[in-house]
Structure 1
Amino acid sequence: MKSTTINSKLQYAICILSLGIFGCTEPQTNQSSEEASSDAPIETAIPAITHRLSADQTHNKFSSTIEPVIKVNSGAVVEAYTKEATDGQLNAESGIDDLNKLSFEPIHPLTGPVYVEEAQPGDILAVTLHDIEIGDWGWTAIVPGFGFLADEFTEPYLKTFQINQGDQTVAFSDKIKIPLNPFPGVMGVAPTTDSLLSTIPPRANGGNMDNPYMIAGTTVYFPVFVKGALFSIGDTHAAQGMGEVCGTAIEAPMRIVYEINVIKGDRSITEPEYEDDDYYAVTAFAPTLDEAAKKATRYMVNYLVEVHGMQRNDAYVLCSLTGDLKIAEVVDVPNVLVAMHMPKKVLGI
């Protein structure tokens, strides 16, 4: 299970062909002709888009009963547009009055679900994020009653941002610039229940993981619970720190190109896992950080034993020596999410 890298020139070409609403900026390079010689590493190209989903093809619950908006085969490459997290309740001109009227009911419009023909319960669904393009604005806020320090920060606060094509940072103030690092806050497959579950907490099916490591170039693996998997994506963030402590990131609309593959006959997984060229990672949700951290450690031990043939004691010790526990989010009650990363160079891969 391995992810791919991004070829920026082909990314630009695909953006032009896709007629996206956000426009396209041709990538620039500072390489000299010698630096760009034939000895340079060749990046893997983004595969051709096979299906497109608009930002109107959304839902905001997790359930096995939600009808798919499209059916695809394993190997499909989907271009999906997403809305910002409030589903249009806020816009670039919004103020505190708009924030005070915010309803949580429409929160997290998710583009999908996508039904994958070959997916069956017990399989693994591999979703490779090939390209993520930010829209032209975003917002962050303090919503009274929500956030890690909700009892201390009780007044509403809203900040909006203009984002231009090609921007690498966004201005927080005259002195502070925040690096842009776009990723989907919510990705997930359908759970087995026919109830309509809130998208606010993360669960075994993925959901609101709010993990800023799940960027372009990452492959995320989901356990499949229902036939067709029913994959959805949304709650896109332009920037977020680990923990998302105030309860919001820079929430922004986006265009995402992802590839979706079914893995059969491999190991089974309990909760989502992910990787890029540098590390393999596991995730774990729980009501407390202690419980989530213990689960993440246990899942990494299982991975090292099952995939790399390690003895369980050795795997546990290696987690202590080179595994990195990371708090992804602490605000999406009733669950928090913790990940553990294992460097691939340590494993010799």
Structure 2
Amino acid sequence: MTAGKSITGQANDFDDAVGLAHDEHRRFAGDGRADCSRRGLLKLAGIGGASMILGATAHAAPASEGGRDGTRVFAPNRHGKVHTLPSTPETVRFGEMDPAAPSVLEIESGDVVHYPNTWTHWGNEAKFGMPLAERNAIRKRYPQGPQSMIGPVSIKGAVPGDVVECRMIRLRPIDWGWNSAVKGMGALPGDFQEGYLHYFRFDAERRFAEFSPGVRIPLAPTQGTIAAQPAGDKPTSALLLGAYGGSISLPALVEGTSLFVSVQVPGAKMWTGDSNAAQGDGVVNQTGIESAMEDLRIQYVLHKRVALSAPVAETPTHWIALGSGTTLEEALTAALRQTIGWISAATGLSRHDVYALCSIDGSFRVTQYANQTEGNYRFQSPKVIQAMLPKRIFSAERQAQISRSLRPEGL
């Protein structure tokens, strides 16, 4: 079933829509002409694309992890068709990825899915200014989870054992959001006896939110949940994390970055939800600035026969592996082992060498931490750690090896 509308356009038209500067066209595309053939696209999806360009200059790269400054890990004007997939009762499920849900759209590898005006939590029932008591009553009607998950989107040719690269093309939130804390949830479930709710309005350019007089929060929009359909015949909670993705909640996954998730069912069947305008590592009261997307665009690129045991991400400055567990210790060791196995296999460095690099210049951050003693949802969020290796420590050749391990079509 193809409920979404397909739009075939030239790359320059799409770049205008996402506000990319003309000098960025020249930097990535040479003379600016788009080669949207499948062969050309797949070449650019791999090491021949912008990842190689960025890898060669990463030693001098700024500390920015995002795409606000125009820095991206992929060539933004290389893509296939643009498909528009609106959020409707037919395209949205709540709090889980259901294997029984029929595909609402089928695309080719390299196509872009445009999700206009995504929904807020709880089936778009969260509204600006709604009192806490009213919100709590709504929340309890969604025991499967809060996320308004749009999908699934099938990718032609995807089979288990492949990986989908999810390229964050465009992330523009609506003009408001909120932070909330429910009693019995978050990192300090017993410290606060009353719930908390704070609404925000954003500036027209979606650059910041005023928290209170003298406190301004810069916006860095992300999608908290991105997943391929997990294997099995029962729904999987979007609060969980696996090699297929799920509750990513990674603050670094902004415009211009990529997430790699493993295909577990034919067609991959991609889902996304849980939009955030800003979020800190750990999300210790269990929310960032929760919002929805006015304009969300993700390019899905299929990479054949790539083995990953956990989701990994690429930013202009770092390689990131995610590990989860019931404790922070389990999550940290999972992220560390994933990083050691992946980087060692990609580069030929020994496991001991990669272990040493992680200790010398790696960074292990708490991605998600909660200690829930009460709650409405059927599943609790796991503890998640992000293992970050800076690109600047690797030569361009080593960076190319790491990229090829995820994008073998670039060989």
Class of the TM-score when normalised by the shorter of the 2 chains: 0.7 to 0.9
Q: What amino acid is aligned across from residue 269 of structure 2 in structure 1?
A: L
- Greater alpha carbon shift after TM alignment, 114-123 vs 74-83: 74-83
Are 2:162 and 1:127 equivalent residues in the alignment? no
Matches within 5 A, 1:1-349: 13-14=16-17, 41=27, 44-47=75-78, 50-56=82-88, 57-60=91-94, 61-81=96-116, 82-101=118-137, 102-103=139-140, 104-105=142-143, 107-254=146-293, 255-265=295-305, 267-331=306-370, 333-349=380-396
Post-superposition shift, 1:12? 7.0
The CA distance in 1 between the partners of 2:77 and 2:380, in whole Å, is 36
Contact 2:15 2:77 in 1 (8 A): no
Structure 1 residues 276-285 or 46-55, which shifts more? 46-55
Partner Cα separation in structure 1 for residue 85 and residue 323 of structure 2: 29
Q: 1-side partners of 2:15 and 2:343: how far apart?
A: 38
Provide the TM-score with structure 2 as the length reference. Answer: 0.74
Structure 1 stretches of at least 4 aligned residues deviating more than 6 Å after TM superposition: 9-12
State the partner residue of 2:6.
Answer: none
Which digits, 9 at most, give the CA deviation of each residue in 1:264-303, with x for residues without a partner? 13x4001111102211111111111101100111111112
Amino acid at match of 2:109: S
Question: What amino acid sits opposite 1:64 in the alignment?
Answer: P
How many angstroms apart in 1 are the aligned matches of 2:234 and 2:193? 33
SS in 2 for 1:304: helix
User: Match of 1:225, as an amino acid?
Assistant: Q
Structure 1: 5+ residue stretches without partners: 1-8, 16-25, 30-35
Which structure dedicates a bigger proportion of its chain to helix? 2
SS in 1 for 2:385: strand
Secondary structure in structure 1 of the residue aligned to 2:279? coil
Aligned residues: CA RMSD: 2.3
Are 1:202 and 1:336, in contact at CA under 8 Å, matched by a contact in 2? no
Q: Secondary structure at the match of 2:357?
A: helix
Cα deviation for residue 67 of structure 1 reads 1.5
Change (3 A) 1:10 1:217: farther
Shift of residue 145 of structure 1? 2.1
Distance 1:45 1:206, change over 3 A: closer
Distance 1:170 1:297, change over 3 A: same
Aligned-residue offset at 1:90 = 1.9
- Percentage identity across aligned positions? 25
SS at match of 2:338: helix
> What is the total number of aligned residue pairs between the two structures?
322
Q: Tell me if the contact between 1:280 and 1:342 (Cα under 8 Å) persists in the aligned partners.
A: yes
Q: Which moved more, 1:280-289 or 1:60-69?
A: 60-69
Q: CA deviation at 1:198?
A: 2.0
What whole-Å deviation, never above 9, does each CA across 1:153-211 have from its counterpart, x for those lacking one? 22111111112320311010011111101000111111112112222232332111211
